[in-house]
Amino acid sequence: MEEVNIKSLAKKLNLSISTVSRALSDSYEIGAETKQRVRQLAKELNYQPNPFASSLRKRKSNTIAVIIPEIANNFFTLVIKGIEDIAQAQEYHVLIYITHENSAREIAYCNHLLNGRVDGVLMSMSGEMDDIDHINSLIEHHVPVVFFDRICEQISTVKIITDDYESAFTGTEHLIAKGCRSIAYLGILKTHSISKNRLHGYQDAMKKNNIAIDKQHIVSCSGDIDQDYQVIKALLTSAHRPTGIFAAVEHAALVCYEVAADLGLKIPQDFKIISFSNLRTASLLNPPLSTITQPAYHIGQEAAKALFGELKNRNGIENTKITLRSSLIERESTA
Amino acid sequence: MEEVNIKSLAKKLNLSISTVSRALSDSYEIGAETKQRVRQLAKELNYQPNPFASSLRKRKSNTIAVIIPEIANNFFTLVIKGIEDIAQAQEYHVLIYITHENSAREIAYCNHLLNGRVDGVLMSMSGEMDDIDHINSLIEHHVPVVFFDRICEQISTVKIITDDYESAFTGTEHLIAKGCRSIAYLGILKTHSISKNRLHGYQDAMKKNNIAIDKQHIVSCSGDIDQDYQVIKALLTSAHRPTGIFAAVEHAALVCYEVAADLGLKIPQDFKIISFSNLRTASLLNPPLSTITQPAYHIGQEAAKALFGELKNRNGIENTKITLRSSLIERESTA
DNA sequence: CTGTTAGCGCTTTCAG
DNA sequence: CTGAAAGCGCTAACAG
């Protein structure tokens, strides 16, 4: 398997290296006939240009990075799918980095990506909002960053989000309308944009309806399944057991179902629940789970489009916030 | 932001480029003191070596590709997680390619990856088993390929699989034991290894129990949700409605639940069902779904480990088949 | 329209 | 122990 590169092609065609290079990149200064010859041989030998040589020279990787806190989760999976579909069309490659909700890893990845391996980054933050040097660093190095879902307000860039505050507000009111007065909030309690917005939506809905919030009803989930099981079990066995649960993350809702099953609690008789979730099986659960569903695939697409807008057209990334709407999907037992 | 590269470091330190390079790669021929100086400055300036230059020179990308048919699916998500975790530890990067079950895309990706962008490929096949030129091509170009789940028997390499035949066999017998005599098989009908093995397991279980298979009970699912909905609806409204369903893919089982809900059919009264599935919510469905659950995360890890074994140790990839065991998890309604 | 040439940033012989 | 220099494969001035 002798190496087939631009040089060997040139030799075989009795052309110079640069002519071959130009022919392959369809330069206007190459004759139609020459182009034809070059292309033909390239196809015959299945010539594949070395991406590293090209990237090194052009200072362009044709690759983007996606940095997400986790992947075993329908939301992020759908987002990736949306990103991939757009990237594919643009002939870009997609590198995946999973932080496991660990902001130290997020920082390490960002620092690493200062090296030019990617042309841009799509990111949903793990870290806290005040911890943003690594992001600024990327931007200073001309690596555009587009945020989705877990954005960072302080950074001036494109942000694709959903109406978290409003969704949480209406979701909470939905529970109130169902007669719940004692409503717990389960979420990842960080200074994330979404954590804050969802929590505020819940709090404001409670306030508007003149319901005091029991401090113990604001529960922090880590994402760790065993740990969260314990925390939620404690909540559901306490003297303060809520009659409504607002789950700001899908994971929390599932743990509630599991704990309820183990404790013999009945949903919705013992407590009602609504959750942010992209579960395909929400309607098939017992009982069906009412959800606030984010347009995950669309978020991925929009984020990717925004990034490519910058990468391809250099239109200068603006500090825009694109807000997509989540849908509150009410599901009731048909039984 | 002046460029910080090996050259600028060398100048600042009054050393030659090669010394700096060697110091950074911890070469034994560099003095301890010099190494120290170099490392310190590199850290101070947050020097990040250009990966393209390095890859070009070393002919090594420190990147692997994962080619999968789809992603919005718990099995592949968990596999990716397993792969990522191993890759991370090895300081490798992971490129994701999704074929959407389209073998033309699989071929295109493989051909593209002949260019050296990745050092190895982890793959679950979309295409048919007899269509393997693109894989052989990779191997000829010294890009090792490790298969997982949807493997290709004809190719001599490491394959990580689960006991599909046995699982399908016992899964089918499980339905028979529950009293089903008329059992349908829903799967992606290709010449894939897993399609074949699962189908054979089902067929042999039926044969062993002296049950004739109604031809119309072998149903091909495309993966397209609307299309499969129609196909399964047709099955469940036909005169030949089965009393048992063996779903070889999770997606098919979910569609069955959806169709059943829409038609007002009750599971398990009207038909029983068991499915290959990695759904976290299997036990929470109404009714709970009995599953054959593959050790997805573990599969990802093993596949990645096998690939890195080859990449790091050049131990020569062997034609090994590693079979992990799936678990048949029986779930019954507690109601 | 085509060729010559100088690098992109790094690794690695080969000399000292 | 350190330096000089070649070159990975490709692109893009600059010449003709």
Residue range B123-152, pLDDT digits in tens: 999 877 678 899 999 998 999 999 999 998
Query: What pLDDT band is residue B2 in, cutting at 50, 70 and 90?
Result: low
Query: What is the three-state SS of chain B?
Result: CCCCCHHHHHHHHCCCHHHHHHHHCCCCCCCHHHHHHHHHHHHHCCCCCCHHHHHHHHCCCCEEEEEECCCCCHHHHHHHHHHHHHHHHCCCEEEEEECCCCHHHHHHHHHHHHHCCCCEEEECCCCCCCCCHHHHHHHHCCCCEEEECCCCCCCCCCEEEECHHHHHHHHHHHHHHCCCCCEEEEECCCCCHHHHHHHHHHHHHHHHCCCCCCHHHEEECCCCHHHHHHHHHHHHHCCCCCCEEEECCHHHHHHHHHHHHHHCCCCCCCCEEEEECCCCCHHHECCCCEEEECCHHHHHHHHHHHHHHHHHHCCCCCCCEEEECCEEECCCCCC
pLDDT, tens digit (0-9, with 9 covering 90-100), for B72-86: 889 999 999 999 999
Q: At what angle do helices B164-177 and B193-208 cross, to 10 degrees?
A: 40
CA distance B80 to chain A (A): 8
Instruction: State, as a whole number of angstroms, the distance between the CA of A118 and the C1' of C15.
Output: 38
What is the tens place of the pLDDT at every residue in B257-271?
Answer: 999 999 999 998 999
| pLDDT score at A8 | 87
How many angstroms separate the CA of A205 from the C1' of D9?
Answer: 62
How many other C-beta atoms are found inside a 10 Å radius of the C-beta of residue B124? 24
Give the number of residues written for chain B: 335
Residue-level pLDDT at B194: 85
pLDDT digits (tens, 9 = 90+) for B42-73: 999 989 999 999 999 999 999 999 999 999 88
Per-residue confidence (pLDDT) for residue B195, from 0 to 100: 84
Q: Which residues on chain B are in Cβ contact (under 8 Å) with A94?
A: 95-96
Å from the B137 CA to the D6 C1' = 32
Q: What is the pLDDT of residues B188-213, one digit of tens each?
A: 867 678 888 999 999 999 999 999 99
From the list B287, B280, B295, the residue with the least C-alpha distance to B333 is B287
- Of A322, A256, A262, A279, the C-alpha closest to A75 is A279
Torsion of CA B153, B155, B157, B159, to 10 degrees: -30
Cβ of B177 under 8 Å from any chain A Cβ? no
Distance CA A53, CA B115 (A): 11
Low-confidence ranges of chain A (pLDDT < 70): 1-2, 129, 189, 191, 314-316, 334-335
Residue ranges of A 285-324 with Cβ closer than 8 A to chain B = 285-288
Mean pLDDT over all residues of chain B?
A: 91
| Residue spans of alpha helices (H) in A45-148 | 51-58, 74-89, 103-112, 133-140
pLDDT tens track for A15-45 = 888 888 888 888 787 878 888 888 888 898 8
Taking only residues 251 to 270 of chain A, the set having a beta carbon closer than 8 angstroms to any beta carbon of chain B reads 254, 257-258, 261
Q: Does A101 touch chain B (CB under 8 A)?
A: no
Locate the chain B residue with the closest alpha carbon to A258. Answer: B284
Nucleotides on strand D lying under 7 Å from protein C-beta: 1-13
* C1' (D8) to CA (B63) span, angstroms: 18
Mark which residues 216-255 of A lie under 8 Å from B by CB: 254
Q: Do B52 and A281 touch (CB under 8 A)?
A: no
Between chains, do B117 and A51 touch, taking CB under 8 Å as contact? yes
Q: Is A3 helix (H, G, I), strand (E, B) or coil?
A: coil
The angle formed by the CA atoms of residues B74, A189 and A196, to the nearest 5 degrees, is 105
Given this model, what pLDDT does residue B335 score? 53
User: Within an 8 Å CB–CB cutoff, is residue A116 touching chain B?
Assistant: yes
Angle, CA of A40, A43 and A45, to the nearest 5°: 110
Write down all domains in chain A, each with its CATH number in brackets.
1-49 (1.10.260.40), 164-294+329-334 (3.40.50.2300)
**Top-ranked range on mean pLDDT: pick from B178-182, B267-271, B293-297:** B293-297
